[in-house]
Chain A
Amino acid sequence: MMPALIEIENVSKRFVKRVDLAGKIANVLGANNREQIVRAVDDVSLTIRQGEVLGLVGESGCGKSTLGRMVAGIMQPSAGRILYGGRAREDGNAPAQVADALAVQMIFQDPMASLNPRMRIEDIIGEAPVVHGIVDTAGKRDYVAGMMRKVGLDPSVMGRFPHQFSGGQRARIGIARALAVQPKVLVCDEAVAALDVSIQAQVLNLFMDLRAEMNLTYLFVSHDLSVIRHIADRVAVMYLGRIVETAATDALFDAPAHPYTRALLDEVPRIDMRKKRFASLKGEVPSPLHPPSGCHFHPRCPRADAICKSTRPPLVGVGPAHEAACLFPQTGGALPEPISQ
């Protein structure tokens, strides 16, 4: 087994909406405005190994993007720490911090929103490597041309602006920009969600080619289970800020242990499922402002018992390299009956 490249240790991210001045004045007059806290990521521990593709799935608001951003170093955790190659980023000296920051690059969902519309492709891709001394100004054009070829773009268009490209090409530009600083890890946040199916297949193939060619490690954040199933070696499922299950991809898709994972898999439309009956899972994802007590999933869970309302289930092993945060996990075969405590 490959060594751990990134270790996420008990990381939490809280977003606090403070009481503003008007609220404070209202409080003096007897109102009851309190700080509102969203625990977007709540005590998450996860390991990404050298060379693997870790898929992170969940519905909107589950904290998967926030976790991805913290791994990429764009956001700082409120608690806990993230180790790169065994060392937290803030523990290194200044040059080491820069090197660590460059080693993890992020690819965003909407390439139009993440590419500066007033910069030419040559500068979008070439700016960072020049600034960081990876290539000198004279060699920039050749370097950019090489990067563009690598992602399947014709280098002759490097003088153009982002709006002159199609969605699929913009996605490739975003990838080339990330690769230009020679990262070891790519955090892809819904990187193919906005693309048409035929273009999505091209970009997914590109990700797999680059992985083999450049020995990259991926944290692949997506809501799309079919994409995750295709590309990931290991999968972590998030629900309301917590990891509810992690396992090797085949194990997770063949024998999900957590009822939420199971429900998600049931709900995914599939081409080989004709005239299916939809909707086995009732209710919506609760507001992260007021998450349910105990296990966050208990109000929607078909197997929930009284104890689920009060106890936060820890992530425990339910199989080889397979963990689930459920008090009544399904461990192969038929559904076990919930045991009343």
Chain B
Amino acid sequence: MSGPILSIHDLKVEFGTRQGVVKAVDGVSLNVYRGEVLGLVGESGSGKSVTGLSILGLIDPPGRIASGSIKLEGQELIGLPEHELRRLRGERMAMIFQDPMTTLNPVLRIDTQMIETIRAHEKVSEKAARSRAEEALKRVGIPSPAERLLTYPHQLSGGMRQRVAIAIALLMSPALLVADEPTTALDVTIQSQIIAEVQQLCAETGTALIWITHDLAVVAGLADRIAVMYAGRIVEEGDVDPVLDHPRHPYTYGLLGSAPSNNRRGEKLAQIPGMTPSLANLPPGCAFAPRCAFAQDDCRVVPPALTHAGSRAWRCFHPVPDRETV
């Protein structure tokens, strides 16, 4: 296999707040290969979205990338001047967000927005750009694309808007697509259509996909690999099957246990006690220790380092025994 499309090493992102410096992302390392789907899973405040935004260089003050390296196809992105980043965004990497209404410009027609994107990156005639835009809409499953090009975003349904956003993101066949909860606001039947289309498009073009979500079930059906984040760190990473069938980190284990579909009907859900800690004052050791059933004294002293085993890794001193199924 050739080198990774995206390689993140020891990324740290900080936000200056009145409560002091908050480490939203604290030492994240990730590799994503061509054509691969990585599911980045975590609850709110775990740093999964900030990780995604960092890749695209979209961290605004008071946030800043404190240290680390992000390489796209071998090129270092951190410290790149804004005009270089602009060129890469949309062309080599793209992002889709949860709410397409905030992505699309409400006062411009769809065709204006799509043609603008193409012509910002390539010297083509407007006519050629229009036919490419139409083609792109067709590929994401929008019926009668020529007419849809002439509409404004508010005239489209939520699912259609998200399709347009995806079509724009994939216009230039980027090497990497970062999708931040793109189907969370949609109905199940629409979610499933959109996942199917993204899955197919990425497979066709070899685009690597990072799918950020809180929903383990979506990742189970979509991803090749999964990385679970908690309080700014990746706590477990590996291929989907081993991680979901035999989780080693107690947090992954707890998350899977609290999913209603993994519990017997009517029985009490295996809940994780407590709540996600405030990033402004994390406990000194493992951030999960206060909620963890497996925690011992050493967990509360220093944060555990990553333990590697084959293609998987976890960050825990006392992992869930191997072969333990949820």
Contact A197 B259 (CB under 8 A): yes
Residue interface bits A214-234, CB-to-B below 8 A is 1, else 0: 000000000101110111000
Q: Is A168 engaged at the interface, CB distance under 8 Å to the other chain?
A: yes
Q: Is B82 engaged at the interface, CB distance under 8 Å to the other chain?
A: no
Residue on B nearest A61 in the bound complex, by CB: B187
Question: Of A60, A226, A282, which contacts B259 at CB under 8 A?
Answer: A226
Q: Is A20 engaged at the interface, CB distance under 8 Å to the other chain?
A: no
**Chain B at the A interface: mostly helix, strand, loop or mixed?**
helix
Q: Is B157 engaged at the interface, CB distance under 8 Å to the other chain?
A: yes
- How many residues on the A side are at the interface (Cβ–Cβ under 8 A)? 45
Q: Which residues of B contact A249 (CB under 8 A)?
A: 265
Question: Of A168, A202, A225, A278, which contacts B192 at CB under 8 A?
Answer: A278
Contact A225 B258 (CB under 8 A): no
Looking at the assembled complex, report how far the CB atom of B47 sits from the nearest CB atom of chain A, in whole angstroms: 14
Contact A271 B256 (CB under 8 A): yes
* A201-B291 Cα distance, complex, nearest whole Å: 14
Contact B261 A271 (CB under 8 A): yes
Residue interface bits A187-214, CB-to-B below 8 A is 1, else 0: 0000000001111111011001000000
Q: Is B144 engaged at the interface, CB distance under 8 Å to the other chain?
A: no
Q: Is B131 engaged at the interface, CB distance under 8 Å to the other chain?
A: no
Q: Which residues of A contact B188 (CB under 8 A)?
A: 59, 223, 225, 264, 267-268
Contact A60 B187 (CB under 8 A): yes
Q: Is B105 engaged at the interface, CB distance under 8 Å to the other chain?
A: no
Most chain B Cβ neighbours within 10 Å, of A60, A272, A274, A276: A274
Contact A284 B260 (CB under 8 A): no
Question: Of A59, A230, A250, A274, which contacts B221 at CB under 8 A?
Answer: A274
Residue on A nearest B278 in the bound complex, by CB: A166
Contact B262 A271 (CB under 8 A): yes
Question: Of B187, B215, B241, B271, which contacts A198 at CB under 8 A?
Answer: B271
Contact B193 A197 (CB under 8 A): no
Contact A278 B258 (CB under 8 A): no
* A60-B188 Cα distance, complex, nearest whole Å: 10
Question: Of A226, A264, A285, which contacts B260 at CB under 8 A?
Answer: A226
Q: Which residues of A contact B263 (CB under 8 A)?
A: 230
Most chain B Cβ neighbours within 10 Å, of A166, A229, A230, A249: A230
Contact A278 B199 (CB under 8 A): yes
Q: Is A17 engaged at the interface, CB distance under 8 Å to the other chain?
A: no
Q: Which residues of B contact A202 (CB under 8 A)?
A: 271-273
Count how many pairs of residues, one from A and one from B, have CB atoms less than 8 Å apart in the complex. Answer: 139
Q: Which residues of B contact A269 (CB under 8 A)?
A: 191-192, 195, 215, 217-218, 220-222
Q: Which residues of A contact B191 (CB under 8 A)?
A: 267, 269
Given contacts A202-B271, A205-B268, A271-B262, contact A281 B189 (CB under 8 A): yes
Residue interface bits A269-293, CB-to-B below 8 A is 1, else 0: 1111111111111101100000000
Residue on B nearest A250 in the bound complex, by CB: B265
Q: Is B38 engaged at the interface, CB distance under 8 Å to the other chain?
A: no
* A284-B192 Cα distance, complex, nearest whole Å: 11
Given contacts A225-B188, A263-B189, contact A196 B217 (CB under 8 A): no
Looking at the assembled complex, report how far the CB atom of B140 sits from the nearest CB atom of chain A, in whole angstroms: 12
Contact A230 B266 (CB under 8 A): yes
Looking at the assembled complex, report how far the CB atom of A300 sits from the nearest CB atom of chain B, in whole angstroms: 8
Contact B192 A227 (CB under 8 A): no
Residue interface bits B157-178, CB-to-A below 8 A is 1, else 0: 1011000000000000000000
Given contacts A201-B271, A226-B259, A226-B260, contact A278 B216 (CB under 8 A): no
Contact A205 B260 (CB under 8 A): no
Q: Is B44 engaged at the interface, CB distance under 8 Å to the other chain?
A: yes
Contact B221 A204 (CB under 8 A): no
Q: Which residues of B contact A277 (CB under 8 A)?
A: 196
Question: Of B160, B260, B266, which contacts A227 at CB under 8 A?
Answer: B260
Contact B220 A273 (CB under 8 A): yes
Q: Which residues of A contact B258 (CB under 8 A)?
A: 197-198, 200-201
* A337-B199 Cα distance, complex, nearest whole Å: 32
Residue interface bits A50-65, CB-to-B below 8 A is 1, else 0: 0000000001100000
A-B interface, 9 closest residue pairs, ranked by CB to CB distance from nearest: A201-B258, A230-B260, A278-B196, A279-B196, A269-B217, A59-B187, A196-B43, A201-B269, A267-B192
Q: 19 A–B contact pairs at CB < 8 A?
A: A201-B257, A201-B271, A201-B272, A202-B271, A223-B187, A226-B217, A226-B259, A230-B265, A230-B269, A267-B192, A269-B195, A271-B216, A271-B256, A273-B220, A277-B196, A278-B221, A279-B193, A279-B196, A284-B159
Chain B interfacial positions (CB closer than 8 Å to A): 43-44, 157, 159-160, 187-193, 195-197, 199, 214-218, 220-222, 240-241, 244, 254-263, 265-266, 268-273, 275-276
